[in-house]
Amino acid sequence: MGIKFIQMKYISLNDKNHKVSFEDAVVRGLAPGKALYFPEKIPNLSKDFFQNLGELSKEEIAFEAIKPFVGEEIDKNGLQEILKKTLNFEFPVVPISENTGTLELFHGPTLAFKDVGAGFMAGCLGHFVKKGNLGKITVLVATSGDTGGAVANGFLGVEGIDVVILYPKGKVSEIQEKQLTTLGQNITALEVNGNFDDCQDMVKKAFSDAEISEKRQLTSANSINVARWLPQMFYYFFAYKQLTEKQEKLVFSVPSGNFGNICAGMLAKKMGLPIDRFIASNNENNVVTRYLQSQEYSPKPSVQTISNAMDVGNPSNFVRILELFNNEFEPLSKQLSSFSYSDEETRKAIKQVKEKYNYVMDPHGAVGYLGLQEFFAENPDYYGTFLETAHPVKFLETVEEVIGKKVEIPVSIKEAMNKEKKAFNISDYDELKAYLMQ
């Protein structure tokens, strides 16, 4: 059904003459000079595929969508097995009001949307390691909240792979911290005295450090890695399957931090998925909102908010969105809107939606909901879906305080909360390097 490319190449966004295979892009994480990898061609999926979407399973849809990007580098059975393991939970679109639904992405093992990307990447990397020519690999990753837990869970016990996770001290929720600091085995957590941008800068610096490269084979599991970024397109195919009977035009509002999720959705549209518009919903870290207003891209240090997974002052994946539109502002602005909201507005939205629709949003979903409502003010002829990217329980204190009620805690979270935290505290790059050089 889908068009298959035998060998997709990945280019560096800093040097399009630099081309590598899918395996190389996954293993390296970043191209030389800290550049991101990007597929050389965007495949068009066939009309048959979209016409038959309603009859296909999640795994079949995902296989057709991702196959052109993997090519023959993972055999059909191997790829199907990775997808089966990665997608073993549901992705329901839950109606909120007449013109609004929410795509719940928190039904995976760590209750966050990042379970899909982390699980898929772990499967791919595990497959490549088993081929026997890579040796031992260290996955080095920075997290602003949910990435750490998802990566830790996805890679737990994968043979031949060590995982080192950097997270900002005091800037992730207690549940998020427990999910990434209590697993042990091949997972190490480093608690950084700083913010997420400091963590991400340290990770990028380590990748370009020749001394570390001689000691360890590093790769990243942040959404900058193509194996983390690409499978996020699955959400939009799964949602569209559930929305095909809607007569209105479709718009998706995506709570956006590092912009990998929304970029994958826009990639799916380029492949033929009939989505009309996207909304990048920001908290007060609003560099893209400001860009779409001024055409000037000016990163600034991140500020801490209650939607902490979006506390990113310089979103890495936005350069991929620009590439999708050949770095041309006008066509991009016709498909992407962006709005930003304060913590006070976010809390108010959580309270209002609970009272009016009896639905409990997490702070990130609330920002997505707000973006949708603002978009509707001038575009009433759309059906809107906002993404609930994490279970409200992961932001227990904030949500319970706002709605004035207890949130039911899933069993998996109760188990994690009873485990002992194990993390090493570091303050600067030299301390990270010293750890990696052991």
Beta pairing, strands 382-388 & 249-255: parallel
DSSP string, 360-415: PPPHHHHHHHHHHHHHHHH-TTEEEEEEE-B-GGGGHHHHHHHHSSPPPPPHHHHH
Q: Measured at the alpha carbon of residue 341, what is the angle toward residues 336 and 346, in degrees to the nearest 5?
A: 120
Q: Which residue of the set 114, 178, 204, 269 is catalytic? A: 114
Strand locations in 4-124 (E): 10-12, 15-20, 37-39, 93-97, 100-104
H/E segment holding residue 191? strand 187-192
Q: In what order do the strands lie in the sheet containing 37-39?
A: 15-20, 10-12, 37-39
Which residues is 281 bridged to in the sheet?
255, 339
User: What are the distances in angstroms from CA 155 to CA 130, 164, 178, 233, 234?
Assistant: 14, 11, 16, 21, 20
The answer to whether the beta carbons of residues 154 and 170 sit under 8 Å apart is no
Q: Is 348 a catalytic residue?
A: no
Q: In what order do the strands lie in the sheet containing 277-282?
A: 93-97, 100-104, 382-388, 249-255, 277-282, 336-340
The whole-angstrom separation of Cα 217 and Cα 129 is: 12
The CA R_g of the chain, rounded to the nearest whole Å, is 20
Spell out the residues 6+ positions from residue 136 whose beta carbon is closer than 8 angstroms to its own: 160, 161, 162, 216, 217
How many CB atoms lie under 10 A from the CB of residue 289?
A: 21
Q: Measured at the alpha carbon of residue 419, what is the angle toward residues 416 and 425, in degrees to the nearest 5?
A: 105
The whole-angstrom separation of Cα 400 and Cα 27 is: 41
The answer to whether the beta carbons of residues 312 and 222 sit under 8 Å apart is no
Residues tagged active-site: 114
